[in-house]
Chains A and B, each alone.
Chain A
Amino acid sequence: MANMAMTTAAQNEWQGDLSELKGLVSERALTGETMMLNMGPHHPSTHGVLRLLLELDGEEIVSCIPDVGYLHTGIEKNIEAKTYEKGVTLTDRMDYLAPMSNNMVFCMAIEKLTDLDVPERAQVIRTICLELTRLNSHLVWLGTHAIDMGAMSVFLYCFREREMILDMFEMLSGQRMMGSYIRPGGVWRDLPQEFLPALETFLNYFPAKIDDYERLLTNNPVWIDRTQGIGVIEPDVALAYGITGPSLRASGVNWDIRKTSPYLTYGHYSFDVPLGEHGDVYDRYIVRVREMRESVSIIRQALKHLTQASGGFRSNNRKFVPPPRSELGQSMEAVIHHFKLWTEGFSAPDAEVYMAIESPRGEIGCYLHGTGGNKPRRVHFKTPSLIHISALSMITKNHFIADVVAIIGSVDIVLGDCDR
């Protein structure tokens, strides 16, 4: 009540019409008893361009209305106008912290729709890429989550290690982030010479760094104060709201798509699925840090597997996959296939498939509907961030405004993933 003047100022600042939000805000907001406050879209702790409309009673959240769409770029609509292979480049731009996962789910949907085979070696390379992507994404998450809560140094360390991963992506695809390395039928090219030594160096260096992050945070009293008991999600509530990935597993629900329906070569490797108990911000932190260790172990097993894996780095089915450059000078057929693939592209049946994989953030799904021609009729991505942001209003209820920052960080959202 002491801040009556401030309340009025903030209400004037927010230009919207409260009657449009009837049912979303409490009755007290309509009488002006509680305060409406805009958080974002230009706010460093909202991890992109997320806008939250908060109804506050003092510092306590009465209701929280997330507003998204600022990063909507019409990716799904654009893929409908492109051949399947060209669509892959757009998927990179959705979840820009885990571009390979997006490539992967789209390519797997295409491969399922067209019944395209993928050689074992390509699958192992993809598995390594996906786990590196998971590390990449979790490092950015840990760094930004920690800096949101005032732990500056963790951010710098995380980005230092992430740089090594981005360097490896650059070796693979020529691009640090938007590589489009994973293609229908395999990957763009075989692993370059310098990649495996770089990966080996990284794997030897990285586990000790995870210990460093944990020394900074796991038993840190300030960190524990800010995170334990905050943003608790009960397991059944999490399932009903569609929460997936580490955020779901922190609530104790054992569902990891890599385990339950193993895709690629995950079925060959042994790894643990870390689970939390309380479903709070702290458990979500612990689960992700442990996942990083598991990822390192998966990559090590995949590297062993790579030496025995059969087949090339992409399918030999020339109706879907372009021939190697070396053949173009000698084989007329290769020239025809090359020309057909880069002009018309390949066709897929008039049918629908749904593929889901475990992205660093949770279940990313791709619903792909063909037309019988060379372009899809409909592509829809079920993205974990969209679902998690929609659940924010439920998670943040009755928390303090400072905890909102912790909660947003802990469910690990990417707005490009949400808005597409």
Chain B
Amino acid sequence: MNIAQALDPVVTLKTYFPDVIQEVIEFRDEVTIVIDSEQIVRVMQFLRDTTGLIYNFLSDISAVDYYPDYGHRPGRFAVAYHLYSLLYNRRLRIKAYVQEESPSLPTIIQIWPAANWLEREIMDMMGIIFEGHPDPRRLLMPDDWNGHPHRRDYPLGYETIQFSFNVEEIMKHKVKGQK
């Protein structure tokens, strides 16, 4: 079987999407490409289907909250997509920053059905909306839960545990900006 020569993902993306790449980070042999969040679907489709790249497996989607010191970053939140290529046996991280005011990204569920619950988890725990997701219900927390626990300004503990009967009392004392 002939396997096409592997292409460098950074160079290839720079050639085909010159305006999309915001930053390329290399750390401990891991390549992170920070891209414009609007273009995520096009880039993912390209990475999956282009000969020489074939990142055909979505390993993970994780979201990070850079609160409180995110001034020097392009946005408060970032979503990291971990792709893997079975053919070339290599990994790639695509990262997109998301703004604090309307945190949203397009869904990539049409490219990898595996994204379904990973995106639901982020919507639930981090409060980042994936536009076009067919099933945007909460995944882990109860349906009537207030707030998004994985945000860095969501208190961790050492306080009254929230139940439905005391939620209003607790919410009165929550920090500003907390829903």
Contacts and interface: CB of A to CB of B under 8 A. Distances in A.
Interface in B134-154: 134-135, 137-142, 149-150, 152, 154
Contacts of B116: 390
A394 B156 contact: no
Contacts, number: 106
Highest count of chain A CB atoms <10 Å: which of B80, B117, B121? B117
A351 interface: yes
B156 A78 contact: yes
Highest count of chain A CB atoms <10 Å: which of B30, B60, B116, B156? B60
Q: Chain A, interface size: which category?
A: 35 or more
Interface string A355-397: 0100000010101010000000110101000110111001000
Interface stretch (B5-13, B16-24, B51-59): B51-59
Contact of B30 (A24, A81, A354): A354
A305 interface: no
B178 interface: no
Nearest to B112: A240
B86 interface: yes
B60 A365 contact: yes
Interface string B33-72: 0000000000000000000000011111011111000000
Interface string B153-164: 010110000000
Nearest to B134: A23
Nearest to A387: B114
A115 B29 CA distance: 12
A72 B66 contact: no
B112 A23 contact: no
Highest count of chain A CB atoms <10 Å: which of B62, B86, B139, B154? B62
Given A112-B28, A394-B113, A77 B156 contact: yes
B28 A115 contact: yes
A7 to B, nearest CB: 25
B27 interface: yes
B137 A20 contact: yes
A294 interface: no
A242 B114 contact: yes
Interface in B80-102: 80, 82, 86, 89, 91, 93
Contact of A80 (B62, B135, B156): B156
B112 A367 contact: no
Contacts of B91: 354, 356
A198 B25 CA distance: 48
A126 B142 CA distance: 38
Contact of B140 (A112, A115, A239, A419): A419
Nearest to B56: A239
A239 B117 contact: no
A261 B139 CA distance: 32
Interface residues of B, number: 42
A69 interface: yes
A113 interface: yes
Contacts of B142: 69
Contacts of A356: 59, 91
Contact of A77 (B56, B118, B150): B150
A260 B56 contact: no
A353 to B, nearest CB: 6
B12 to A, nearest CB: 21
Interface in A93-145: 112-113, 115
Given A20-B137, A242-B58, A367-B82, A113 B117 contact: no
Contacts of B121: 386
A351 B112 contact: no
Nearest to A20: B137
Contacts of A382: 59-60, 62, 82, 118
A68 B32 CA distance: 31
Interface string A250-262: 0001010000110
B57 A353 contact: no
A76 interface: yes
B60 A380 contact: yes
A94 to B, nearest CB: 13
The 5 closest A-B pairs by CB, nearest first: A242-B114, A382-B60, A380-B62, A390-B117, A69-B140
24 contacts: A69-B138, A69-B142, A72-B141, A77-B149, A77-B154, A77-B156, A241-B114, A242-B58, A242-B59, A242-B112, A255-B86, A352-B32, A352-B64, A354-B59, A354-B80, A356-B91, A363-B59, A367-B60, A377-B65, A377-B66, A378-B63, A382-B82, A390-B117, A391-B113
Interface of B: 25, 27-28, 30, 32, 56-60, 62-66, 80, 82, 86, 89, 91, 93, 112-114, 116-118, 121, 134-135, 137-142, 149-150, 152, 154, 156-157
